[in-house]
Amino acid sequence: MDSAAPGPSFALTDEQAELQRVVRQFARERVAPRAEAFNARAELPLDLVGEMGQMGLFGLPFPEEVGGSGGTYLDLCLALEEIGRVDQSLGITLEAAVGLGAMPIYRFGSDEQRERWLPPLARGEQLAGFGLTEPGGGSDAGALRTRARWDGDAWVIDGSKQFITNVGTDVSAFVTVAAVTADDPREITNFVVPTGTPGYVVGQGYRKVGWHASDTRDLAFSDCGVPADHQLGEQGRGLANFLSILSEGRIAIAALAVGLIQGCVDECVRYAQEREAFGKPIGAHQAVAFKIADMEAAAQLARNQYRYACWLLATGQRFTREAAIAKLHATEQAVAAAREACQVFGGYGFTTEYAVGRFYQDAKILEIGEGTSEVQRMLIARDLGLPR
């Protein structure tokens, strides 16, 4: 009888454990002390982005021959969890730069396009955006109004996008854009639109509930022309290609959410040991201790799920359902953990003087970005064979 194929192991390799240690130290020593200042100013700390680039974080899942670090998607998720443990804004900057900005070039670009655009992204010297979401679309990702027409020697794009990350910084190089390229609205093709292209206008940004220090903009395209070699991937395959990018990205968002939950545990354990009420530390009261214990349980379970999805991805197996489960569970638990962490801190939790206040601001978007909780449930239901 043939032995069963080996199952997943959640044990980290020595190299992964070292990566985790290095990123955790960077997050605690370089990011955490400045996180609230950048949050208050709604300013992305580009110097820290540069340091992350020098550490090789932006190139983690890409091979060395294209300027990457030669790691895996799990390596990226480990880094996201550690950064997100102290600052979600910087965490989503890394996640969007790698998973949404650079990954479409790596997955669907030609050899020439990879050579041209991927190395500076993998080194963290440039950032790129992912232009799918539109004002009238939301969760209906295929309902695109942005159009691209061939005009003899160039593709000319007209339309708009919203809630796009990393397109308005001093190091933003381009955005990849999904646009309808035929009378049939189902024919969608992707394009690379460099920053500064005539007809491409980057908006001023949003007043957001959370993720204050990340860069989020709306985009407009008016007679915006790009040459033929800026078409990314096969014509008509744009939506399918972008949706596959989102499937991978859901694992990364789950890792970011786990970072938030673990950050809540870190802050609450420290505070519950120091803060006293009724003659003893508040952590000695079961009402507080049980809240923190539930947060730790949530973090452990969500971490196991995203690592399982990473294992499926790495071994070439279907991972769509598991990625949706990872994102759904981790993000909803992150919202619950942030709420309970603020309760542990009492009035102080309603300020951003403490990290739990920022976590409370940042948590909700995790249930929305890269596919809402409702979309994740829809994907899970469809994968179970339930009727559409």
Residues 143 and 313: their CA atoms lie apart, in Å, by 28
Residue spans of the chain under pLDDT 50: 1-2
Catalytic residue among 82, 134, 267, 370: 370
CATH of 239-383, one of 3.40.190.10, 1.20.140.10, 1.10.10.10, 1.25.40.80: 1.20.140.10
| Closest by CA position to 104, among listed 254, 227, 243 | 243
List beta partners, residue 221: 159, 200
User: Would you say the C-alpha torsion 190, 91, 373, 306 has a positive or negative sign?
Assistant: positive
Same fold, 14-127 and 128-236: no
pLDDT attached to residue 15:
96
* Beta carbons of 3 and 57 less than 8 angstroms apart: no
Q: What is the CA radius of gyration of the chain?
A: 21
pLDDT attached to residue 143:
83
The verdict on whether 367 is a catalytic residue reads: no
Residues 285 and 334: their CA atoms lie apart, in Å, by 23
CATH of 128-236, one of 3.30.1330.60, 3.40.50.460, 2.40.110.10, 1.10.260.40: 2.40.110.10
pLDDT digits (tens, 9 = 90+) for 324-356: 999 999 999 999 999 999 999 999 999 988 999
DSSP state of 5: P
Domain boundaries, the chain: 14-127, 128-236, 239-383
Domain 14-127 has CATH 1.10.540.10: yes
Q: What are phi and psi of 233, to 5 degrees?
A: 85, 180
Residues 67 and 286: their CA atoms lie apart, in Å, by 51
Strand pairing report for 127-131 and 147-150? unpaired
- The H or E element containing residue 188 is strand 188-194
Residues 158 and 286: their CA atoms lie apart, in Å, by 59
pLDDT attached to residue 5:
58
pLDDT attached to residue 6:
66
pLDDT digits (tens, 9 = 90+) for 215-240: 999 999 999 999 999 999 999 999 99
